[in-house]
């Protein structure tokens, strides 16, 4: 099987400021949304504090907006998340 033959959703490069909120939390942490697809996103956080397995990702600081996510991979300050319901 050829390397990279696994079909991936097309990702759109974004590099846009975003906000992470934790379940039930009011403190929003800034992040950068590096790229996004219909199924998930790649985000970078400034502080290297561990992100929980579940979080909300939004493009405004309002915690009522955004999408529920699960972290699927971590590399230093960069995280891959998939959107969940």
* Residue 44: band (very low, low, confident or very high) from pLDDT cuts 50, 70, 90: very high
Inter-residue contact 44 to 60 (CB < 8 Å): no
pLDDT given at position 51: 83
Whole-model pTM: value is 0.81
Task: Please name each of the domains of the chain with its CATH number.
Answer: 12-83 (2.40.10)
Cα–Cα distance, 34 to 77 (Å, whole number): 12
Could you tell me which residues come within 8 angstroms of residue 44 by beta carbon, excluding any fewer than 6 positions away?
31, 32, 34, 77, 78, 79
What are the residues facing 31 on neighbouring strands?
18, 45
């Amino acid at each position: 099987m050829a390397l990279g033959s696994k079909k991936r959703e097309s990702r759109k490069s974004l590099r846009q400021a975003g906000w992470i909120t934790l379940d039930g939390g009011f403190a929003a942490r800034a992040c950068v949304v590096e790229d996004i697809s219909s199924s998930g996103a790649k985000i970078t956080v400034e502080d290297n504090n561990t992100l929980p397995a579940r979080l909300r990702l939004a493009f405004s600081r309002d915690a009522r907006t955004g999408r529920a996510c699960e972290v699927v991979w971590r590399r230093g300050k960069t995280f891959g998340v998939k959107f969940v319901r």
